[in-house]
Amino acid sequence: MLHPLCLVMRLLGNYLQILIVVLFLVSYYWVVQQPSDDFDSEIPIERIVKLYERVISALRENSSEICEGTFNYCRRPETRHINCGEVLRGNKTYISTITGENRIPLVSNPYLNMTCPQISNRIRPSYEMNPLKLGGIAFARNVYTDYELIEKQVQMTWHPENRYCFVVDIDADIHFIWKMIQLVNCFENQMTMLPVTLYMDIAGHNQNLAHTQCMGSLLQYPNWSYLMLLQNHDIVTKTVYELDRIFEIMNGAADMEIENDTLDGSSRRFNFNPKNLKLFRNGLFEQQMFHNFLFSETGISENNLKTPVTLVSGSVAASLSRESVQWLIDTTDVTVFTEQLNRTEYGGDKKFIASLYTNSQLGMPGHFTSECIKQGVPVAHFTSMSQIADNESYKCATKTTRHKTCLFGIEDLKAIAEMSHLTWNKVYPSFDWSIIDCTAELLFNRTFLGQENKNFDEDYYMNSISVEYHRNRNNPGYKLNCTSNQKTKRYEDYL
């Protein structure tokens, strides 16, 4: 018969084992099933990266031979086995074989050839390209990492008439900075890179300043008609010809996300009007008042000079006409405004262009209005797609987040191919390169191989609320209807 003390110890041991198992299961559920807002961009060691790198290295030896002479899109060695067509068909059984532990992250190529002939060979298509109706598109992108993604985005948006500007974070890796300099130097007639002086962070500090500096630099190039404001991990999901057509339909209107401001402490303290923001250059307000000189679409009244600018949150990504950019650079001086937003602890960058866009009294070309926000009606937009997940993993097809925003993966290819948005944020090469390569192949096939985009709906852009407002705002009797009757595909439909 066991001594009572031994019996107690045995029972405690059993309970301890049960407790350990329970803690393990809870920990496993938390790590695997819950979205991680701290996605580690480093590829985990447990995924046998060393072996993976050796396999990729062996494949790269024959990479040029595999792609040589082909007029089709040539994917990287890591993703050549991916059947993008099956993913587009929504084959969930197949998708399950290339996600999870089989997901393909990018192992950066430390031996990437950065000579101009090789960079040009990776970017320029073998096909002749037709002229763009509007004379080209400009892209202003703030960057800090993942050079191969940035180069891929140039390839995906390439056209001889397009122009590019980059602002590199001062804390970026020196090798990344060097590669960006090499890239821009190889296309000096089409690209510009500003001096590396700005510190940009995830909280949004200096993002707007970087973009406005790029705007000024891009105006040196004639002919382009529209500008897209982008960040490091935005992926463009429409062909250059589709973008050209969409901007033609917009006919000067701007587009971006707008929503009610969250009214954090810094926003509540924001009580500035155009006059004390010194928002207009060279005393243009005074010229307006005393000489009746109209420098904007609407004119500025004395009352509007003293009306506080209403802060509106939105997205950093935006589509702006050249006239809007010219206005921002030549007519306004946003120095004080950006300084004030930089004092915001988090997300000040999302208030900059959205506030100028919706405060119609300022007269920004292509502007919208704050009327829908006052009504509490969300306004559909199409420039940028992002999916806020907070702690609800079911909102992401990948079940993975970064700073409470879904990371998009190969599971999202069908949605990307069919939805109306021009860009998607976020794609991380270290999370899933296959979504980047398959999207690039999709755009290549639509651009050069005649693959039809059956979901490209011109009427959707024509009848979007912002474009309709821009087209009709000066018509007598026009009344804005903030509620759109258009039916469009939603991200939730693909989950």
C-beta of residue 344 within 8 angstroms of C-beta of residue 207: no
Residue 53: per-residue pLDDT: 64
Q: How do residues 320-331 score in pLDDT, each as one tens digit?
A: 999 999 999 999
Question: What percentage of the chain has pLDDT greater than the value 70?
Answer: 79
Rounded alpha-carbon distances, angstroms, from residue 169 to 147, 174, 232? 13, 11, 10
Residue 305: per-residue pLDDT: 76
- In the predicted model, is pLDDT for residue 47 greater than 90? no
Rounded to an integer, what distance in angstroms lies between the CA atom of residue 189 and that of residue 198? 24
Out of 33-47, 217-231, 380-394, the most confident range is 217-231
- In the predicted model, is pLDDT for residue 363 greater than 60? yes
Rounded to an integer, what distance in angstroms lies between the CA atom of residue 292 and that of residue 301? 10
- In the predicted model, is pLDDT for residue 10 greater than 80? no
Question: 5-14, 105-114, 259-268: which has the minimum mean pLDDT?
Answer: 5-14
Q: How do residues 299-311 score in pLDDT, each as one tens digit?
A: 566 777 788 898 9
Mapping DSSP onto H, E and C, the string for 176-224 reads: HHHHHHHHHHHCCCCEEECCCCCCCCCCCCCHHHHHHHHHHHHCCCCCC
Tell me the Ramachandran region of residue 343: left when phi exceeds 0, alpha when psi lies from -120 to 50, beta otherwise. alpha
Residue 372: per-residue pLDDT: 93
Rounded to an integer, what distance in angstroms lies between the CA atom of residue 208 and that of residue 142? 9
β-strands 405-406, 401-402 pairing? antiparallel
Residue 201: per-residue pLDDT: 93
- In the predicted model, is pLDDT for residue 33 greater than 80? no
Residue 18: per-residue pLDDT: 41
| Overall average pLDDT of the 4-29 stretch | 43
Residue 442: per-residue pLDDT: 99
CA dihedral of 348, 353, 358, 363, whole degrees rounded to 10: 130
Residue 393: per-residue pLDDT: 82
Rounded to an integer, what distance in angstroms lies between the CA atom of residue 395 and that of residue 493? 11
| Overall average pLDDT of the 195-224 stretch | 96
Rounded to an integer, what distance in angstroms lies between the CA atom of residue 79 and that of residue 135? 35
Rounded to an integer, what distance in angstroms lies between the CA atom of residue 486 and that of residue 495? 21
Q: For the beta carbon of residue 65, count every other beta carbon within 10 angstroms.
A: 8
| Overall average pLDDT of the 364-373 stretch | 96
Rounded to an integer, what distance in angstroms lies between the CA atom of residue 96 and that of residue 487? 30
- Looking from the CA of 168 toward its CB, the CA atoms found within 13 Å total 23
- In the predicted model, is pLDDT for residue 470 greater than 90? yes
Question: 227-236, 277-286, 375-384: which has the minimum mean pLDDT?
Answer: 277-286
| Overall average pLDDT of the 80-85 stretch | 94
Token representation of residue 367 = 């502007």
C-beta of residue 319 within 8 angstroms of C-beta of residue 225: no
Residue 333: per-residue pLDDT: 95
| Overall average pLDDT of the 190-210 stretch | 95
Token representation of residue 407 = 């990371």
C-beta of residue 417 within 8 angstroms of C-beta of residue 213: no
Where are the strands (E) in 194-321, listed by range? 226-230, 234-236, 255-259, 313-321
Question: 12-21, 169-178, 467-476: which has the minimum mean pLDDT?
Answer: 12-21
Question: 51-60, 145-154, 330-339, 424-433: which has the minimum mean pLDDT?
Answer: 51-60
- In the predicted model, is pLDDT for residue 17 greater than 50? no
Average per-residue pLDDT for the chain: 86
Residue 38: per-residue pLDDT: 57
φ/ψ of 440, rounded to 5, equals -60, -40
Residue 358: per-residue pLDDT: 96
- In the predicted model, is pLDDT for residue 34 greater than 60? no
Name the band, by pLDDT with cuts 50, 70 and 90, for residue 78.
confident
